[in-house]
Structure 1
Amino acid sequence: MKSALIVIDAQRSFTQRPYWSDADLSRFINRLQALIDRCEARDVPILQVFHVEEEDGPQNPFSRRSGFVEPLPELRIRPTAVFTKSVHSAMFASNAEGQSLDYWLRKQGVGRVIVSGIRTEQCCETTTRHASDLGYAVSYAIDATLTFPMVAGSGRSYTPAEIMDRTELVLAGRFADVVRVEALQL
């Protein structure tokens, strides 16, 4: 089955958010770069997705005019194709020709997507569920995702590790094969 790697929202925009933390950044970059390099070596298409919001003008770090809608500088990525989205699921993203990510994948004969990027429990998880519902086999590269501490309405704080554990719990065996980069079969 032909695979494609989707790198979701690994962009500088997040560095401008108040919740941004470098605490897990080196782990994330190391794992994501290893995944990108493995895919590149095996001619697996690498699809880069950027989250773009033009509301609020250039002061919004997700606006193209902000200058922050670009890859994290630590990443070395030469994408096969680039897509943008304004919602959580990358499956709704489109390229410069107006083709949806789903259309592009089907046209290329891709049956399995490998999900990676920022944020573990938001755009990465949403994309995983959506891709699964569209009939794709999904490999969720959990260690090639990044998230940040969160506080629930109850006041309870969750660490990135707890959020990642929860994401693995709800996706594994239902929506995706949740794997570590080194164990991923290409």
Structure 2
Amino acid sequence: MSRALLVIDVQESFRQRPIWRAGSNPDVVGQVSRLVDAARDNGDLVVWVLHSEPDTGDVFDPVNGHVRLIAPLAAQTGEPVLTKTSRNAFTTTNLHQLLTTGGIRELVVCGIQTEQCCETTTRLAADLGFEVTFVTDATATFPIPHRDAPAGRSVEEIIADPRTLGTAEIVTRTEYALAGRFATIRTVDELTSPVGAAPVG
């Protein structure tokens, strides 16, 4: 086993936010599930990562019960489930040690959010020497309000603001930033085909 699938923050917390309905990828759970099935069939390690913000009182505070995988996603016996408190999946977990002691050299990254935890993890993984595949269509993100926009606006107001960065532009920017520098961009179809499911490299 030399490859691992990192499933980042595909958790109920996001579904509790009103902005969920404006997400870039309504089928992100289904797409991630396809990657998980292919990884298991191929004998790759599946690593689940959850984001936690203790003592905040919001949807990422574990006391509220939303820091859990979105059903029907579920870890199987032997699949690590890590909880992070930073944007990337390495800094506040033992992920690096887990991967290196397991002989993992290649990572496939998917999850939420495209340009935040997924992209940040990818950049750091590449700097650490891993060969990274970024599966954009198994990630999801949400419109980003302008930094000067007032807080507390509705989803409709955020989307209507011409200064809001839309999801298509976010995804395009992430792919431009990562491709050829930090990762190879692949699709779920490519990785779940009989050829694509074989280890890369």
Give the TM-score, by structure 2 length: 0.82
What does residue 173 of structure 1 align with?
Answer: 180
Name the larger-Rg structure.
2
Contact 2:6–2:48 (Cα < 8 Å) also in 1: yes
2:65 partner letter: G
Cα distance in 1 between the residues matched to 2:100 and 2:189: 27
Give the RMSD, CA atoms, in angstroms.
1.9
Task: Give the structure 1 partner of residue 79 of structure 2.
Answer: 80
Counterpart residue number, 1:97? none
Q: Which residues of 2 match residues 93-104 of structure 1 at below 5 A? A: 93-94=92-93, 100-104=94-98
Q: Which runs of 5+ in 2 are unaligned?
A: 149-161
Percent identity at matched positions?
38
| 1:83-162 equivalences in 2 (<5 Å) | 83-94=82-93, 100-153=94-147, 156-162=163-169
TM-aligned CA deviation for residue 55 of structure 1:
2.3
Q: Which amino acid is the alignment partner of residue 117 of structure 2?
A: C
Q: Distance in 1 between matches of 2:23 and 2:116?
A: 19
In 1, Cα distance between the equivalents of 2:23 and 2:100? 37
**2: CA distance between counterparts of 1:6 and 1:93?**
15
Counting matched residue pairs gives 179
Deviation, structure 1 residue 70: 0.6
Q: Deviations over 1:36-78 (max 9, x none)?
A: 110011111100001011122xx32112211101111243543
Aligned to 2:19, the other structure's residue is in SS state coil
Q: Any runs of at least 4 consecutive aligned residues in structure 1 with deviations exceeding 4 A, and if so which?
A: 22-25
Match of 1:182 in 2: 189
Give the gaps of 5 or more residues in structure 1: 95-99
Q: 1:49 touches 1:93 (CA, 8 Å); kept in 2?
A: no
The Cα shift of 1:136 comes to: 0.5
1:21 alignment partner in structure 2: 21
Q: State which drifts further: 156-165 or 45-54.
A: 156-165
TM-score, normalised to structure 1, is 0.88
State the alpha-carbon separation in 2 of the partners of residues 24 and 153 from structure 1: 20
Q: Which structure has the highest strand share of the two? A: 1
Q: Please give the per-residue CA displacement for 1:76-129, whole angstroms capped at 9, x wherever unaligned.
A: 5437111110000102242xxxxx100000000000111110000000000000
